[in-house]
Structure 1
């Protein structure tokens, strides 16, 4: 009896694991901002999702330096993101132009599009950007 319960639990858990892998495949990868001035690689960092700058235009690097962020390449723009519901992640968003971190969300729109949104405390002063997958 106990063995059949364990087998049943394992069979029920298998589709959830496959679904999570599919979600990771949809979320992880390299994304570009609307101006194609920054490319961020979404990947796992310490069991959570993060977005690390892997490429930036000279203008984006200069804007970041003016804002107080000396090194843009390698910097985590999306930090400590945890999935809240399927396709919607919540964490912190670093804005290099002003050298500040805000609460934010990433929502998967489709396989090649996501929306990143950052807000001041209490959900006011929000800004969002639609990012597209780099092919």
Structure 2
């Protein structure tokens, strides 16, 4: 055990987060997502919600403030402007960690393509529909 690190972040995921560089992307996906076939390294966190994983990851990983959209969710099929309740929860968590940032969205197949080019995928036990988000890693600035 370590102090000040959320316990749901195990050694494999911590190593991935540490190894990622500025601009690398990590996806947090729901239980229905075809994560095993996506391509990037896969970490499974079955039984843990996507919102809990997002909150834990953002306690350690900064989002990229050099891009307009460092956090992206999957658009609702057939209604791109609709927001599912989990998307509002994602945005609340993002704003708690990164007050000036929000949540943008991508069309379903564009989202799949984006995940395939990412650094890693974290598959959760999330059962709410559209519980998927891509995060672009930012930088840790020097003190002072």
TM-score under structure 2 length normalisation: 0.23
TM-score under structure 1 length normalisation: 0.24
Higher relative contact order (CA 8 A, sep 6+): 2
* Structure having the larger proportion of residues in strand: 1
